[in-house]
Homo-oligomer: A and B are copies of this chain.
Amino acid sequence: MAKASREPKISAEEATARLRHAGLRPTRQRVELAGLLFQDGDRHVTAESLHDEVSGAGVKVSLATVYNTLHQFTEAGLLRQVIVDAARSYFDTNTGDHQHFFLEKEGLLIDIPGETIAVAGVPAPPPGLSVDRVDVVVRVRRN
């Protein structure tokens, strides 16, 4: 009864399996970060916020590794990058089709399920170009 962790985060085994499945070596750092990122449904993190979180949990991981890991997870399809703020990059654990509310003031992202919003009338792109994706950001403020 020495260790009394009360976090409902996914087990190291689950994280390890997920990493291997994605073709990534399950290092201590990646297992820790995956544990935090994928414990709950949807999360929107920043390199800094995740670094603070993992550090706050007493785990030593450098900020450079957090950046590396976020990018590797993104390349592996485990995360997706969201661009809503000129100053910060967000990473989203929800890789499915969906949109966002963005609370500029507090840097908060809230998911809008994929089927909720319908975008009609997107014109054909100029010749030689093809559509990669359509992003909708609903910018909101406190009233």
Contact = CB atoms under 8 A, between A and B. Distances in A.
B121 A116 contact: yes
Given A86-B83, A119-B117, A138 B143 contact: no
B142 A125 contact: no
A84 interface: yes
Dominant secondary structure of chain A at its interface with chain B: strand
Interface residues of A, number: 38
Contacts of A133: 138-139
Interface of A: 81, 83-86, 88-89, 101, 103-104, 110, 112, 116-123, 125-126, 128-143
13 contacts: A83-B85, A83-B86, A85-B86, A116-B122, A117-B123, A118-B120, A118-B121, A119-B120, A128-B142, A129-B140, A131-B138, A131-B140, A136-B136
